[in-house]
Amino acid sequence: MAYLIQQMINGLTLGSIYGLIAIGYTMVYGIIGMINFAHGEIYMIAAFVAVIAFTALSNAPLVVAILLVLLFTMLITAAYGWTIERVAYRPLRGSFRLAPLISAIGMSIFLQNYVQLVQGARNKPVPPMVQGGFTIMDDGGFTVQLSYLQIMIVVTTVVLMVCFTQFINTTSLGRQQRACEQDKTMAALLGVNVDRTVSMTFVMGAALAAVAGVMVTLYYGVVDFFLGFLAGLKAFTAAVLGGIGSLPGAMLGGLLIGLIEALWAGYFSSEWKDVAAFSILVLVLIFRPQGLLGRPEVEKV
Amino acid sequence: MSTATVEAARPGVESVLKELCLTALAGLALTVPLVTYQTIDDVGGLQLASRWGSTVFIVVMLVLGRFGIILLRTPGRETWVTIGGGIAALIGLLDLFRDGMAHLLGIISWPAITPTYTLSFLTGVGGAILAIRAVVQVSQRNSSMTKADRDARTEAIGEQVRKLVKVFAALAVVFALTLPFLPFSNRYVIDVATLIVTYVMLGWGLNIIVGYAGLLDLGFVAFYAVGAYSYALAAQHLGISFWLALPFAGLLAASFGLILGFPVLRLRGDYFAIVTLGFGEIVRIVLINWYDVTNGPDGISGIPRPDFFGLASMTRNGSDGLPPFHEYFGLEYSSEHRIIFLYYLIVVMAALVALFTVRIRKLPIGRAWEALREDDIACASLGINRTTIKLAAFGISAAWGGFAGAFFATRQGFISPESFTFIESAIILAIVVMGGMGSLVGIAIAALLLIGLPEVFRDLAEYRMVAFGAGLVMIMIWRPRGLLSHREPSVLLANRPPPGPGRPSARPVAAAGEAAE
């Protein structure tokens, strides 16, 4: 029992991170119908920027450092998200069906190796900054730990999700986004700047991925340039599982993937946990391509 | 990127300044953390090293480049842009080769303007692109041709090129066959050639599913791995020779393709791509973790080399009761025999794929693939069973991947999961995409460029994948149909002339693809 609770706590933490990344996938897919394959690399870049920023701020008080790093990283990745859309995706609107995906794969390879080139191929270790936590349960020999960091990650995610949902539902930019999602031509006719809205979608997705990147840097304490590929795939799985295009779905999918992965690693074997995640992706796409909370897509001629 | 912006009104100073500031800001945001500061492991944790010179240079260059693009929007300023771009290109070129040139001229090397060699290269390329764009814009404005005329001319040139391609292909075949006997050929050249032809074969294999059936398969390397491992395991545990194992490797990969393909083929384009990617990763993880069978990350070593069709052994002293190759043919012993033999083996295998592809394109199934690629709903409406033909494409493609994999295993003598990562799939995909999906010659040229060039420029190995990723993006933007695009149906109705240069509108799909240029 205690072991199960511990794994669930770990799973929820991991799931929050996946959920944050998954929102970027789901929003971009919702608005321009493409899989932004490079989104995982944005998360990786965020982790690297976080390492650099934490090193630069190593003398600042912890809370200030974390807040500053979060803001700075969000700013930087937002610029990356904006530039990627501008350079690699916007010229391809109206090109053939698979062009954006191929371009995104190219972008992903480019970013991965660019970071390797400018930052070196070695892993970057970060000293643990947020330590300590509560002991929830002591079940004879096995203690359930809930670290401050885990609380911070989950709370940050929940707060961000609430703010973000409010943002999409109430602000004019959020309305424009939903309008573009429904019908881009009509939205443009009604005076919505579609280009700008799409750009902002990338910016927001990248900023959320930045939060995930900072959190993961603190959580695991080590960053490498290959980090984005797997996390990106799993977050995409989460977005598909929750129903692509649906924001609550992305969060739900993220949490589920995190839980499944943690439980799988805890009860079966940690080597095969990636297979579990990929198998879910395959199974969901085959049996329920609209996901848990998504609407089924109608094939149009 | 479009010429439509040329007619835009002259931008005010204010908006130009705003745009330049935005560029500078974006440039700073992109470079300041990652380029300026590098984390370095040191005693007592990470330290930061700063490179502000590069950052400032990059941002200045970005702003200048942006300014050039803004200038191009108003007609009549192309000359300035051409001069500016030309100067940048010249500076880049001079800086890049300054040591060599100084040495040649016998003077002391001059101080560089650009901070690093990478930046000299980028300055040069960026300047050149800007200058070329300016020149193209001027020539387009000065010529009296309309866009339709230009399209028709491009089409006519394309037709000529396509005719030349046949000649070129014949020459390439002759060259490939005689390569080992050419004067400059040595062990290294043949090794590289073998590698290139392996990728040509993989590209042609993947081409069936990506180029003809129009399905983006991101997990092709899985079949390559299945082929390689099935030969390696069969040779190690059952002692089966290469020639016996080869068909099995292909068949195994094909059946694997069918098993995997069956559930995923109902999916639409990009979902299909991601699921195949997932399958590719699953196969790799299985190879790493199924230690009892695959020997995990350590891989399998000591994979036997193929013998000479069961007649002679390609080793020095002979093995398995077979006489050595040089004795069998009464030749002087040379270690190159084996390499040349392997080279011809892969050339023949690739040629088989090419013949097969050319033939099957004209069969009903080949035509069905093309129909599927162009419009899968129309294809289904015409009564074609989409699942069956997709499955066929998947299986055939997988079989070629499996053959190539068995060859890879026997050539290397050692395989491990390291060789079958997603990047490998991406490289093969890039070859197909760059070559122009569906064009055999284009794919061969792309393989030559993408595999051969990095071999030649070994010093620049670390830049290889960066250039590679950027290249994929640029091809999608400028030539989404690949270097040699070929989108006409392979088979036409008997008395209907193929849509020629005079009727560019008869090819809406190609026109849509080119509109993005």
Q: Are A33 and B25 in contact (CB under 8 A)?
A: no
Tell me the C-alpha to C-alpha distance, in Å, between residue B293 and each of A279, B87, B232, B234, B289: 22, 61, 11, 11, 9
What residues pair up with B40 in beta bridges, in sequence order? Answer: B47
Segment 396-415 of chain B within 8 Å of chain A by CB: none
Q: CA end-to-end span of chain A, whole Å?
A: 53
A21 or B479: which leads in pLDDT: A21
Beta carbons of A88 and B516 less than 8 Å apart: no
Q: State which H helix or E strand residue A109 sits in.
A: helix A99-119
- pLDDT tens track for A208-242: 999 999 999 999 888 888 888 889 989 998 998 88
What pLDDT is attached to residue B147?
67
Count of other CB atoms within 10 angstroms of residue B474: 17
A7 touches chain B (CB under 8 A): no
Q: Please, which pLDDT band fits residue B124 given cuts at 50, 70 and 90? A: confident
Of B34, B60, B36, nearest in space to A114 by CA: B34
The strand ranges marked E within chain A are: 124-125, 133-138, 143-147, 222-223
pLDDT of A136 > 80? The answer is: no
User: Could you report the predicted ipTM of this complex, rounded to two decimals?
Assistant: 0.86
What residues pair up with A222 in beta bridges, in sequence order? Answer: A125
For chain B, the farthest-separated pair of C-alpha atoms sits apart, in whole angstroms, at: 85
| Alpha carbons B1 and B128: distance in angstroms, whole number | 16
Q: Please, which pLDDT band fits residue B8 given cuts at 50, 70 and 90? A: very low
Segment 465-494 of chain B within 8 Å of chain A by CB: 465-466, 468-473, 476-477, 480-481
Q: Which residues of B touch A111 (CB under 8 A)?
A: 469
- pLDDT tens track for B184-213: 778 888 888 999 999 999 999 999 988 888
pLDDT of B7 > 50? The answer is: no
pTM listed for this prediction: 0.86
Of B215, B127, B135, nearest in space to B429 by CA: B215
Angle at the Cα of B215 (from B422 to B357), degrees rounded to 5? 100
What pLDDT is attached to residue A14?
92
| Alpha carbons B351 and B343: distance in angstroms, whole number | 12
- pLDDT tens track for B12-35: 788 888 888 888 888 888 888 888
In angstroms and rounded to an integer, the radius of gyration of the C-alpha atoms of chain B is: 27
SS3 content of chain A, % helix, strand, coil (to 5): 75, 5, 20
B117 touches chain A (CB under 8 A): no
Q: Which residues of B touch A100 (CB under 8 A)?
A: 476
| Alpha carbons B343 and A53: distance in angstroms, whole number | 52
Two tokens at B387? 């699942």
| Alpha carbons B208 and B150: distance in angstroms, whole number | 32
> Which letter does DSSP use for residue A224 in this model?
-
Complete DSSP assignment for A140-163:
SS-EEEEEHHHHHHHHHHHHHHHH
- Buried/exposed A66-84: b ≥16 CB within 10 Å, e otherwise: beebbebbbbbbbbbbbbb
Segment 264-293 of chain A within 8 Å of chain B by CB: 269, 271-272, 274-275, 278-279, 281-282, 285-286, 289
pLDDT of A57 > 60? The answer is: yes
Q: Are A277 and A259 in contact (CB under 8 A)?
A: no
> Which letter does DSSP use for residue B297 in this model?
G
A68 touches chain B (CB under 8 A): no
Mean pLDDT of B403-430: 90
Q: Which residues of B touch A91 (CB under 8 A)?
A: 1, 477, 516
Of B213, B215, B163, B214, nearest in space to B441 by CA: B163
Spatial neighbors of B223 by CB under 8 A, at least 6 apart, are B253, B256, B257, B397, B398, B399, B401, B402, B405
> Which letter does DSSP use for residue A271 in this model?
G
